[in-house]
Structure formats: C-alpha cells, structure tokens
Amino acid sequence: MSFASLGLSEPILRAVAQSGYSTPTPIQSKAIPVILAGRDVMAAAQTGTGKTAGFVLPLLQRLAGGAEVQANQVRVLVLMPTRELAIQVGESVAGYGRYLPLKSAVVYGGVKINPQMMKLRGGIDILVATPGRLLDLFSQNAVKFSRLETLVLDEADKMLDLGFNDEIQKILALLPKKRQNLLFSATFSDDIRQLTGTLLKNPVLLEVSPRNSAAGSVKQLVYEVDKNKKPSLLSHLVRNKDWQQVLVFCRTKKGTEQLVSKLKGDKISAAAIHGDKSQAERSRVLTDFKANKIRVLVATDIAARGIDITELPQVVNFDLPKVPEDYIHRIGRTGRAGSQGEAISLVNADEVKLLYAIESLLGRVLIREVVTGFIPHHQVPLSRQLKLGPKKPKKPKKSWR
C-alpha cells in the first residue's frame, strides 16, 4: 500500500515523502479514503499511530479542491485539549500542506489575543484551537463559522478529562449543521459515547492498535543542553542508559577526534571515522564496532554515509547537521527489526535555526527533554508557528472592531 494509492494529490505526496514516510500506517490506510469521501469518522486511535497525518492529509486535499476562504471564516476547525498538542498538530498541518496555497493557524490561551485576531482576519483554511481561547475569539467577532466544512475533535477523551465538555457544547452550537465531523479518542468511555451520539452522523468506525514497533520505528528526542556540556552529557548518557553500541554524528573531523579523546578519558571505548582516515583504518574500526569491541563510534556525515552501518539501536546527533536532509539519513541508521530505535539530538541554543529546519522538514516538532545535572542556562525556544502557502491573506472588507 502506498500513499499515492490512497488517492492523495502530488503536492501532498511530495510533502509526505519529505517527512520520510514510505508506507501509510493502518489508521492512515483506513481513514484517508473515508475522510476524502466526506464521511463522518469515529476513530479509536492513540498517539503514535500516525492519526494526525490520517486526518490532516485528506482534509488538506479536500480544502485544496474547494473555494477560497473568506474573511474571518474557518473551513476546518481542529479542537485540541492543550496548547502543546495544538502546536504539534499545527506544525504537522504546516508541514504536510507546505506545497498547497492554504492558510493555517494555531490559537490557544495564555498568550495575547490580539496577534491571533490579526491572523484570523483574512480567514483561515485550517484552524487548530483550544476550546477556551476559541470562544474568546468568537465573542470578539474575530472568527466566524458559517462556512465551516469540517470539525475535528482530537484527543476527545483528554478533552473531557480536562473538563472541556461545556466549552465543546457551546462551540458545537455555533457551527453550521451540515458539516463533516471527525472524532479521535484513545478510549471510549460512556461520556465519549454520549458525545459521539449527538455529534456524528452515520459515522465510519475505525479502530487500530498502537503502531507496531516491530516495523522498526524510530523514537526521536531532543535533549536541550549548553554547548560546553555536550561532551559530558554524552558520557553520562552512555553510562546511565547503558548503551553498548551507539553511533554519534559530529559535523567536523576535529570535533570527532576531540569527542573520542573525551570519551576515552571517561573510560568509554570509542573511535572516530572521518575523511582523513585511511580505508584500512575505517574498516578496522567498523569491524570492532560491529563486534562490540568499541561502544561509541563517532562519525562525520560523509564518512558514515559511505559505510554499511544499519539497524543500530541508538544514534546520537552530537551536533545538528547543517542540511536538514542529513538528519533523515542519520536517523535512518537506527530502528532495528523487533525493537524500537532511538535517535537523540543534543541541541544547544545556537542550533535553534537548524532544529527548526529539521522540524519543518519532518512536519512536526520534536519532543524536548532536559537531563538533571545538565539543565541549560540558554534555552532553546520552540519554533514559531510555520506559515503556510504562498498567498497573502486578503484584507477584510470591513473591520470587526
């Protein structure tokens, strides 16, 4: 099964390919044709199943085929329970829709409302919102729903757990009766069933188990850290996580050598491969690494590309690549059949632009963590929402103030 066979158009297929996905996940194969056909959907799907692309891709396609959005109108509304989830979905929308002339935005509470009102003026094709802020925006006439085509309630169980039922009911009352509805929830409690009963019309029911890690999936994480602490953080991780075989990427030859000295100083067996090493040296190092005689292999992108190292449990980006596509090559080294691979990037504040470029290529934000004892003094800010589409928003005919 390929994405193309699901009926998706070329600009979407191109963006999907850039995210590094070759085959649709089960929820995607099931949901995409049904959503493209305009049906209501009730899906039991957890995070990790690929459900976001499962609804974003077909909705982008439907939007691209329809009429242009009008001032302050929204064509697809995605309700999310938290700001973090809203941002993540917003990044996915921006990434998958990057070759389409559509506008997307994310709105959530806890920040100034005015910039959000400005953004909504020209109308938005896909708006990702948390319920409270959306109602505030509506009460200030910043957003209209009379042309709404599709409503998505994502993480519906979480939404009810957080006490958003009243807000959801208020929002539902504002929407046109004729519309497509999609509901995603990890669990189906009585409360959810009650909600689906009033919300969905003749829905298609979809159920999938969480994505199978035996397929060789890669867990991706970012550790925020100050630049000067990166070498000691790496030693700490190798020891504490008991990594036995880890491939570490460095940008420069000098960097690989310095890191190997540091690791050896910390009594961790390590070796470097880069362009200045002879072929014989490289082969020897590689054989030792494969035989588990060397725990850490530190490589430059070019050196690693020329050699057959695949199916590693652990890859570390000691520094981020200058070219975002190299990130995909690097993490492609991990993901062993039967177990989940892990790709960890050590990122300092100076690398923030490189990180955004990678996240934009992936179409999503990477999960951030910090390690006790290595909490950075210089934070790595979250990427600002990516803007979609080449078109400039049209000026509204009249001001709503």
209 vs 283 by CB, closer to ligand AMP? 209
Contacts of 30 (CB under 8 A, 6+ apart): 54, 206, 208
Residue 317 interacts with ligand AMP (CB under 6 A): yes or no: no
255 belongs to the binding site for ligand AMP (CB under 6 A): no
β-sheet bridge partners, residue 104: 126
- 50 lines the binding site for ligand AMP (CB under 6 A): yes
Is 30 an interacting residue with respect to ligand AMP (CB under 6 A)? no
* SS3 state at 181: strand
Q: Which stretch binds ligand AMP (CB under 6 A): 35-43, 48-56, 122-130, 336-344?
A: 48-56
Using the rule CB under 6 A, give the single segment among 51-59, 93-101, 188-196, 290-298 that binds ligand AMP: 51-59
Q: Which of residues 225-254 bind ligand AMP (CB under 6 A)?
A: none
Q: Which of 9, 11, 21, 371: binder of ligand AMP (CB under 6 A)?
A: 21
- ∠ CA 297-301-307, nearest 5°, is 65
Q: Does 98 bind ligand AMP (CB under 6 A)?
A: no
Contacting residue, 6, 12, 24, 181, with ligand AMP by CB under 6 A: 24
Sign of CA dihedral 107, 112, 113, 115: negative
Stretch that binds ligand AMP, among 44-52, 247-255, 293-301, 344-352 (CB under 6 A): 44-52
Residues 6+ apart with CB under 8 A from 108: 82, 83, 86, 87, 129, 130, 133
Please, which residue, 122 or 335, has the CB nearer to ligand AMP? 335
Distance of closest approach, residue 49 Cβ to ligand AMP, in angstroms: 5
**Looking at 18-26, 172-180, 195-203, 266-274, which segment touches ligand AMP (CB under 6 A)?**
18-26
Nearest residue (CB) to ligand AMP, 23 versus 310: 23
- Which of 73/345 has CB closer to ligand AMP? 345
Pick between residue 92 and residue 256 the one whose CB is nearest to ligand AMP.
92
How many residues of this chain interact with ligand AMP, rule: CB under 6 A? 13
d(CA 377, CA 371): 13
Among 9, 47, 70, 258, binds ligand AMP (CB under 6 A): 47
Burial class (CB in 10 A: 0-12, 13-18, 19+), 300: buried
How far from chain centre, in Å, is Cα 16? 12
Query: Under the criterion CB under 6 A, does residue 51 sit at the interface with ligand AMP?
Result: yes
CA distance 223 to 132: 32
Contact residue for ligand AMP among 30, 31, 35, 52 (CB under 6 A)? 52
Q: How many CB atoms lie within 10 A of CB 17?
A: 12
Q: Which residues, at least 6 apart from 225, have a Cβ–Cβ distance to it below 8 Å?
A: 233, 346, 347, 348, 370, 371, 374, 376
7 belongs to the binding site for ligand AMP (CB under 6 A): no
Q: String of b and e for 270-297 (b: at least 16 CB within 10 Å)? A: bbbbbeebeeeebeebbeebeeeebbbb
**Contacts to ligand AMP from residues 359-378, by CB under 6 A:** 364
Report, in Å, the least distance between residue 197 CB and ligand AMP: 25
Q: How close are the terminal C-alpha atoms of the chain, in Å?
A: 51
Footprint on this chain of ligand AMP (rule: CB under 6 A): 21, 23-25, 28, 47-53, 364
